[in-house]
Amino acid sequence: MPLAEFEALPVVAGDVVTAPTGAVVMKFGGTSVADVERIKAVAERLSRAREAGARVVGVLSAMGSTTDDLLDLAHEVSPTPHERELDMLASVGERVSCALAAMALIDRGHDAISLTGSQAGIVTDTTHGRAKIVEVRTRRIHDALDRAAIVLVAGFQGVSTASEVTTLGRGGSDTTAVALATALGADVCEIYTDVDGVYTADPRIVPAARKLPAVTYDEMLELASSGARVLQLRSVEFARNHSVPLHVRSSFSVGEGTWVVAEEDDRVLERAIISGVAHTTDETVYRVRGVSAAPLFAALADARVNVDTIVQTGDEIVLSASAEDHSATVRTLDQLDARWSVDAELGKVSVVGAGMKSHPGVAATAFGTLEAHGIEPVIVTTSPIKIAVHVRRDDVERAVRALHDAYGLGAGDALR
């Protein structure tokens, strides 16, 4: 899968881009701020970090299902909401969370300030709905931190180079947090969610799945692109490109979570052969003929379709894309006058692990296990640290459990 592209964060004239040591960025997802009591709990956690001596920046998502509710409201008003106005509307939820958290912190005796994405200096390109961050101007945040304030930044949003409000797409608050951590020179970016880390598989499907103490950036990228929903793909790539340590933690406990770090970090010194088994049923597979690869993928890129799997055999190109991009993909294929068919009844199961690069037999175990369980791979793709198979959707959960067992991922001593 082609990874999201980011420009480097440039130095802005007169702007400070490296904070004193001790800065921490703490991002809280929608379930973590779902109601007033949870917002108060988030304020308490931010307060404790500040009282421990950290320079604290909180990045908050919208409360619960607020963003979905706003988007539903937009589509009730208009069948095709204008992209600019949709961003104006969708950016509201995060501002509410930040303002409420700031109020709770002030009541606890702290200096606190809530900032919109634009006030925080998050500058993006001009694409509405899936904007990319091109610059972070941190002067206002530094000024607040220098007076010992806790800064609350609305996630998921910024201001474009054309001075318009933009949003960063699903999971964009993760990207906001990592970008701020990069620009501020933070010691760590903590991602608080409703799970306590990254697991060897989805615990809802595999009850024996284990929490991983650490994974590499590359492993997390493969897991995220393969269906693991703990972190947004773009945020992991941003963290890798700028060497920002990530700590995925639970909002509802104080225990250690999972660290996402560089391969040479001591926390991943004991290399896991296989780190996990991820899956997704939110992809659609297309088989395309009558158009060559270059114009096909150029047209899909222009339509902002994120393509995942690509396999070419002869004059047939097989590709997969997110189900939410189906309409755009169909329009693009029709405009190219291509001959194509679609298979929406496949799911993808991926075995991920940096250790497989130096351990033969990983593929043999995967395919032997699937055959033993009567599961037929329809499409197979690989990378140096991933084996991915598309199987019939009805077989996905069975494949996940079988592969998890085959690699002994439920037993701690079988991982290394």
- Per residue in 135-181, pLDDT tens? 999 999 999 999 999 999 999 999 999 999 999 998 899 999 999 99
For residue 412, the model assigns a pLDDT of 59
Chosen domain end from 176, 194, 212: 194
d(CA 152, CA 79): 34
User: What pTM, to 2 d.p., does this model score?
Assistant: 0.88
pLDDT band at 387 (very low <50, low <70, confident <90, very high): very high
Q: How many domains, the chain?
A: 2
For residue 359, the model assigns a pLDDT of 82
Beta bridge partners of 150: 112
Give the burial string for 99-137 (b: 16+ CB within 10 Å, else e): bbbbbbbeebebebbbbbbbebbbbbbebbbbbbbbbbb
pLDDT band at 271 (very low <50, low <70, confident <90, very high): low
**Inside any domain, residue 168:** yes
pLDDT at 8 over 50: no
Looking at per-residue pLDDT, the higher value among 402 and 194 belongs to 402
**Inside any domain, residue 341:** yes
Q: φ and ψ at 412, to 5 degrees?
A: -55, -40
Looking at residues 185-192, what average pLDDT do you find?
96
Pair 228, 277: CB distance under 8 Å: no
d(CA 276, CA 211): 10
Nearest one of 236, 103, 86 to 166, comparing CA atoms: 86
Looking at residues 235-251, what average pLDDT do you find?
94
**Inside any domain, residue 1:** no
What SS3 class is residue 24? strand
- Please report how many Cα atoms fall inside a 13 Å half-sphere around the Cα of residue 242, on the Cβ side: 28
Chosen domain end from 194, 219, 253: 194
- Looking at residue 166, its amino acid is T
At 288, list the tokens.
Answer: 């395309």
Distances (CA, A) of 181 to 59, 143, 291, 371: 10, 16, 43, 46
pLDDT at 227 over 90: no
In this structure, the answer to whether residues 152 and 33 fall within a common structural domain is yes
pLDDT at 354 over 90: no
Q: Calculate the CA 148 to chain-centre distance.
A: 30
d(CA 51, CA 367): 53
Pair 78, 140: CB distance under 8 Å: no
> Which CATH number do you get for residue 136?
3.40.1160.10
Distances (CA, A) of 416 to 57, 76, 212: 36, 53, 12
**Inside any domain, residue 379:** yes
What SS3 class is residue 94? helix
d(CA 1, CA 51): 43
- Please report how many Cα atoms fall inside a 13 Å half-sphere around the Cα of residue 210, on the Cβ side: 19
**Inside any domain, residue 252:** no
**Inside any domain, residue 254:** no
**Inside any domain, residue 4:** no
d(CA 74, CA 406): 47
In this structure, the answer to whether residues 189 and 281 fall within a common structural domain is no
Q: Would you give the end-to-end CA distance of the chain in angstroms?
A: 27
**Inside any domain, residue 104:** yes
> Which CATH number do you get for residue 379?
3.30.2130.10
At 307, list the tokens.
Answer: 């393509």
Pair 97, 33: CB distance under 8 Å: yes
d(CA 4, CA 307): 11
Give the rounded percent of residues in the chain with a pLDDT score beyond 70: 92
Using the Cα atoms of residue 243, residue 61, residue 49 and residue 19 in order, give the sign of their dihedral: positive
Pair 133, 4: CB distance under 8 Å: no
Chosen domain end from 194, 222, 257: 194
Count of H-run helices and E-run strands, the chain = 12, 20
Q: How many residues does the chain have?
A: 416
Domain around 380: 277-414
In this structure, the answer to whether residues 179 and 281 fall within a common structural domain is no
Cβ-based neighbour number of residue 308 at 10 Å: 18
pLDDT band at 120 (very low <50, low <70, confident <90, very high): very high
Ranked by mean pLDDT, the top range of 266-275, 390-399, 405-414 is 390-399
Using the Cα atoms of residue 202, residue 208, residue 213 and residue 216 in order, give the sign of their dihedral: negative
Nearest one of 246, 83, 87 to 175, comparing CA atoms: 246
Q: What is the pLDDT of the chain when averaged over all its residues?
A: 90
d(CA 416, CA 414): 6
- Beta strand 339-343 with 283-289 is antiparallel
